[in-house]
Amino acid sequence: MKTVHIWLLLLAAMALTAPLGAEEINAPDAQWQAAAADQPSTANGVTVGGDAKNAAQPVPLLASLQAPNNNKKNGKQPTKPADDQESHERVMGLAPMFTVVNDASTARALTVDEKWRLFYRQTYDPFQFASAGISAGISQAENQLSGYGQGMQGYGKRYGATLADNSLGAFFGNFLLPSMMHDDPRYFRQGSGSFVSRLVHAASGAVVTHRDNGTTRPNYANVLGNFIGCGIGNLYYPQSDRGVGTTFERGAQVTLTGSLGGILQEFWPDIHNKIFRNNKIAQ
């Protein structure tokens, strides 16, 4: 019966998000796209008409969330920066990093629809399903959530619980509460400065957030979303793994994991560039 509850939750989540196909997730907001096509740009006092044909071409989601570039000159498109918001979207080409902003000066506030699409793209990326499978396997090998038992049935329950945990936490912490509180669910890289300052900035990302108006404040949405997701988990966890104490413990662990993820998001582009630069030198 517990397994049924888990899969019902997952099916409900997928049913809600089913209308969003891959092209719609990656496509820019139509209103923003139309405005970019209609608005002329100005460079060095010379007004240049917008290129409606190019504006109509689909572009990746994060690129569509950048402020429009007003540096066109003589009708030529400017050179795309090497380290823009679309750079390093995946760690080793696998783990998604769609919520990372490399340059805060080029980012604009997200609409509720864009927050939803960003949540969907990050949460239901194929890598997340594979990662949940690995986590469930480790949990079974260590006999965590022992009430689920062993064998394929026990593994299925752990896998379903992991997917449900990830989806619920992300829904509340990265979409619903940030939308209600006008917070930005993305991670804004510092990108420069001393190693210690960047490390502190990255680790604090789980508890400090950017707001839609550009200011910062404690990340109530993320922390509260983590605890809400863990609280709902009591509906499908084994009886021995339920309770107020275990709920708070799980919520704290998820928040800590988010801090570790922020460190990876902060430093991965540097690691990526170093690896590929060394490869070029070797060639």
Cα gap 121→223, rounded to integer Å: 21
- Residue 79: the pLDDT is 38
Instruction: Give residue-wise pLDDT tens across range 41-84.
Output: 444 444 444 444 443 343 444 444 544 444 444 444 443 433 33
Q: How far apart are CA 187 and CA 101, in angstroms?
A: 6
Containing structural domain, residue 116 = 2-17+87-282
- Domain for residue 194, yes or no? yes
Establish if 142 belongs to a structural domain. Answer: yes
Q: Look at the chain and report how many structural domains it folds into.
A: 1
Query: Is residue 66 one of the residues assigned to a domain?
Result: no
Residue 74 lies in a domain: no
pLDDT tens-digit profile of 15-40?
A: 443 333 333 333 334 443 444 444 44
Q: What is the 8-class DSSP label of residue 98?
A: T
What is the tens place of the pLDDT at every residue in 99-139?
888 888 888 899 999 999 999 998 999 999 999 999 999 99
Is residue 100, in this structure, part of any structural domain at all? yes
Please give the model's pTM, rounded to 2 decimal places: 0.66
| Domain-embedded: residue 273 | yes
Task: For residue 145, tell me if it sits in a domain.
Answer: yes
Tell me whether residue 172 is in a domain: yes
Question: Tokens for 182?
Answer: 């006008």
3-state secondary structure 155-193: HHHHHHHHHHHHHHHHHHHHHHHHHHHCEECCEECCCCC
The conformational region for residue 32 under phi > 0 = left, psi -120 to 50 = alpha, else beta, is alpha
